[in-house]
Amino acid sequence: GKLKQFREGDSSSRMTESRIKLLDEISFDWGCSETSEGAIKLRDKWHRTYDELESFVQEFGHARVPALFPQNQSLRNWVNTQRQSFKKFSKGDSSSS
Protein backbone atom coordinates (compact mmCIF):
# COMPACT_ATOMS: atom_id res chain seq x y z
CA GLY A 1 0.00 0.00 0.00
CA LYS A 2 0.90 3.64 0.27
CA LEU A 3 2.75 3.25 3.57
CA LYS A 4 5.06 0.67 1.95
CA GLN A 5 5.62 3.06 -0.98
CA PHE A 6 6.52 5.85 1.41
CA ARG A 7 8.81 3.58 3.40
CA GLU A 8 10.69 2.45 0.30
CA GLY A 9 10.97 5.90 -1.29
CA ASP A 10 14.23 7.77 -1.32
CA SER A 11 13.13 11.26 -2.33
CA SER A 12 13.29 14.00 0.29
CA SER A 13 9.49 14.20 0.39
CA ARG A 14 8.95 10.45 0.82
CA MET A 15 8.64 8.52 4.04
CA THR A 16 11.40 6.03 4.83
CA GLU A 17 11.92 3.39 7.53
CA SER A 18 14.45 5.64 9.24
CA ARG A 19 12.04 8.58 9.20
CA ILE A 20 9.25 6.42 10.60
CA LYS A 21 11.59 5.24 13.36
CA LEU A 22 12.61 8.81 14.19
CA LEU A 23 8.99 9.93 14.37
CA ASP A 24 8.03 6.90 16.45
CA GLU A 25 10.85 7.70 18.88
CA ILE A 26 9.23 11.04 19.69
CA SER A 27 5.75 9.47 19.99
CA PHE A 28 4.52 10.98 16.74
CA ASP A 29 0.72 10.80 16.45
CA TRP A 30 0.08 8.88 13.21
CA GLY A 31 -3.70 9.37 13.58
CA CYS A 32 -3.53 13.14 13.11
CA SER A 33 -7.03 13.38 11.61
CA GLU A 34 -8.47 12.40 15.00
CA THR A 35 -6.75 15.32 16.69
CA SER A 36 -7.19 17.89 13.96
CA GLU A 37 -8.89 21.17 14.81
CA GLY A 38 -11.98 20.15 12.82
CA ALA A 39 -12.26 16.81 14.59
CA ILE A 40 -11.87 18.49 17.98
CA LYS A 41 -14.62 20.98 17.12
CA LEU A 42 -16.92 18.13 16.06
CA ARG A 43 -16.21 16.21 19.25
CA ASP A 44 -16.87 19.32 21.34
CA LYS A 45 -20.11 19.98 19.43
CA TRP A 46 -21.20 16.38 20.03
CA HIS A 47 -20.64 16.79 23.77
CA ARG A 48 -22.46 20.15 23.85
CA THR A 49 -25.46 18.63 22.09
CA TYR A 50 -25.33 15.60 24.39
CA ASP A 51 -25.53 18.04 27.31
CA GLU A 52 -28.60 19.61 25.66
CA LEU A 53 -30.18 16.16 25.39
CA GLU A 54 -29.36 15.48 29.02
CA SER A 55 -31.17 18.71 29.98
CA PHE A 56 -34.13 17.67 27.81
CA VAL A 57 -34.30 14.33 29.62
CA GLN A 58 -34.18 16.06 33.00
CA GLU A 59 -37.03 18.35 31.98
CA PHE A 60 -39.27 15.87 30.14
CA GLY A 61 -38.24 12.50 31.62
CA HIS A 62 -37.37 10.85 28.29
CA ALA A 63 -35.07 11.22 25.27
CA ARG A 64 -37.77 11.19 22.58
CA VAL A 65 -37.33 14.69 21.19
CA PRO A 66 -40.47 15.46 19.16
CA ALA A 67 -40.25 15.94 15.40
CA LEU A 68 -41.51 19.50 15.85
CA PHE A 69 -39.54 20.89 18.76
CA PRO A 70 -39.34 24.64 18.14
CA GLN A 71 -37.22 25.27 21.22
CA ASN A 72 -34.32 23.32 19.71
CA GLN A 73 -34.87 21.76 16.28
CA SER A 74 -31.16 21.02 15.94
CA LEU A 75 -31.45 18.74 18.98
CA ARG A 76 -34.11 16.69 17.17
CA ASN A 77 -31.85 16.44 14.11
CA TRP A 78 -28.90 15.37 16.29
CA VAL A 79 -30.99 12.67 18.02
CA ASN A 80 -32.01 11.31 14.61
CA THR A 81 -28.38 11.29 13.48
CA GLN A 82 -27.38 9.34 16.62
CA ARG A 83 -30.10 6.76 15.93
CA GLN A 84 -29.00 6.38 12.30
CA SER A 85 -25.36 6.05 13.34
CA PHE A 86 -26.29 3.44 15.93
CA LYS A 87 -28.17 1.39 13.32
CA LYS A 88 -25.17 1.49 10.98
CA PHE A 89 -22.80 0.62 13.82
CA SER A 90 -25.01 -2.29 14.87
CA LYS A 91 -24.84 -3.64 11.31
CA GLY A 92 -21.07 -3.35 11.27
CA ASP A 93 -20.90 -0.31 9.00
CA SER A 94 -17.54 1.34 9.68
CA SER A 95 -18.80 4.68 8.31
CA SER A 96 -20.90 5.17 11.45
CA SER A 97 -18.02 6.64 13.44
How does pLDDT run across 37-68, given as a tens digit for each residue?
777 777 788 889 999 999 999 999 999 999 89
- What pLDDT is stored for residue 77 in this prediction? 92
Question: What are the residues facing 63 on neighbouring strands?
Answer: none
pLDDT band at 10 (very low <50, low <70, confident <90, very high): very low
Degrees (nearest 5) of the Cα angle 60, 61, 66? 50
| pLDDT, position 33 | 57
Express each pLDDT in 61-88 by its tens digit. Answer: 999 999 898 999 999 999 999 999 898 8
> Could you write out the DSSP letters of every residue in 6-56?
HHH--STTS-BHHHHHHHHHTT--S-GGGGSHHHHHHHHHHHHHHHHHHHH
Q: What one-letter code names the amino acid at 45?
A: K
